[in-house]
Amino acid sequence: MSGVYVLRETARRTWSKTLRRPVPLTFSLVQPLFWMLIFGFLFHRFTLGPAYAGLSYLDFLLPGVAAMTVLFGASQAGIELVRDLQTGFAQRMAGATSHPGWMLGGKMAADVSRLLLQALAVALLGMLLGARLRPSAPGLVVAILALAAFGVAYGCLSCWIALRTRAQESMAVFVHVVNMPLLFTSTALVPTRQMPDWLAGVARWNPLTRVADALREALLFGRVPDAALLLPLIVLAALCFAAARHAMARAAED
């Protein structure tokens, strides 16, 4: 069985399973809407600082919530993989080709494309609520690449944990223990200027900060994000993909 066939079939199956479960898909949009409604209007008098002069808190929040949507969605990529491991489907598909990474690539292609569409829907919902965006096409391309790289990195990390533990409980721990600290130590909700010095230092190394800042550059200021924001995300995605691919190769041998 060719690697391309495995990639295509895995992507098709992943999308098919997503479309058969409209409730989780709908909830993935309702949750960001609540964040924008509650935080956007609760902190509408929040002072953002001179770097964001003329912008409302909702304007600032929208790119962060779009990035958060990808974070929460990618963190659950391993949950379905655990089910496939328990039924033996993942082992059969990974063992059907000499390159098990094709299966992982197909899953990431489906999951990340879905998450990008969800982020787009979140942006449209934010605009309906009153957020003002000034996007530029070149900046948007770079920001989408950053968002996709982050989705691949975090999705592969979730799959690696699933492949190593093969337990739903471990995925629940990963989702609940990692997501919130990553969110609240980033600039998704507040700029570094409003953070204590120690937290601002942590935020600068947080990959979610890089994604949120790249989206703000492209959506709020119409600028092309600095390549320094994008390169570490691509490296992180490559490392996480390699780790998950190695774990999948080992699963295929079981």
**Which tens digit of pLDDT belongs to each residue from 54-63?**
889 999 999 9
Whether the predicted pLDDT of 92 surpasses 70: no
Three-class SS of 194-232: HCCHHHHHHHHCCHHHHHHHHHHHHHHCCCCCCHHHHHH
Q: For all residues of the chain together, what is the average pLDDT?
A: 86
pLDDT of residue 215: 95
Domain total of the chain = 1
Give the pLDDT band (50/70/90) at residue 91.
Answer: low
Spell out a b/e string for 93-105, using b for 16 or more CB atoms within 10 Å of the CB, else e.
Answer: bbbbbeebbbbbb
* Alpha-carbon span 174 to 13, nearest angstrom: 24
pLDDT of residue 95: 61
Whether the predicted pLDDT of 141 surpasses 70: yes
| 8 A C-beta contact, residue 10 and residue 107 | yes
pLDDT of residue 205: 93
* Alpha-carbon span 102 to 169, nearest angstrom: 27
Give the pLDDT band (50/70/90) at residue 38.
Answer: confident
pLDDT in tens, 160-198: 998 888 887 888 888 888 899 999 999 999 999 889 999
Provide the domain limits for residue 80: 3-253
Q: Is 31 helix (H, G, I), strand (E, B) or coil?
A: helix
* Alpha-carbon span 67 to 188, nearest angstrom: 7
Picking from 95-104, 114-123, 197-206, 238-247, which range would have the lowest pLDDT averaged per residue?
Answer: 95-104
